[in-house]
Amino acid sequence: MAWQWWKKAGPHFPKHYPGRMEVESYIYTPGRHGVEFAKALKEGKILGMKCGKTVIVPPKTFCPDFTEGELVEVKGPWRVQYYTVIYETIEGEKLGEPVIVAVVKPDDADTGIIHVVRADPTQLYPGMVVKPVWKPPEQRKGLITDIEYWVPEEQ
């Protein structure tokens, strides 16, 4: 049944959600700086890569000018740069409570990371200062999910 090609799953087959945009599966290779980024997450730190006067978070394999750059710890404060509020799953089912996905950028870097923010959607605004909520050290695995979510700093 050729029409069911989309039901296959794996790194070379797109996932298909009827009426939704296709999402490609892929395999991510972190590179040397990505490994250091992961190690820092286990320690409750976030690294960026300094390329001249620019700091990129998370660190890339190379700077835009193809130099290696220097790994630096970014400390913030962290601010919501952009965000979206999600009210339903990709399958169209209503969520019990909305999920906020945001680009969170530290003041001491030029780029930020995409992550979940737990806040009242009616109170959230671009520029709001947020802080990470980390998993306990013994549960960290060197993944971006070692940060469970971000909350407004005043919480």
The whole-number pLDDT of residue 155 equals: 64
d(CA 31, CA 21) in angstroms, rounded, equals: 29
CA–CA dist 37, 51 (Å, integer): 16
Q: Is the pLDDT of residue 25 over 80?
A: no
For 6-17, write each residue's pLDDT tens digit.
Answer: 444 555 555 555
Q: Which two tokens stand for residue 104?
A: 């969170």
How high is the pLDDT of residue 4? 46
Q: Is the per-residue pLDDT at 23 higher than 60?
A: no
In angstroms, the CA 22 to CA 53 distance is 37
DSSP string covering 127-138, please?
A: T-EEEEEEPPGG
Is residue 64 scored above 80 in pLDDT? yes
Q: What is the pLDDT of residue 63?
A: 87
pTM comes to 0.78
- How confident is the model over 144-153, as a mean pLDDT? 96
Could you give the domains of the chain?
31-152 (2.40.50.140)
pLDDT for residue 55 is more than 70: yes
Whether the pLDDT of residue 54 is over 50: the answer is: yes
Is 50 exceeded by the pLDDT of residue 42?
Answer: yes
Residue 66 has pLDDT above 70, yes or no: yes
Strands 70-73 and 147-152: unpaired
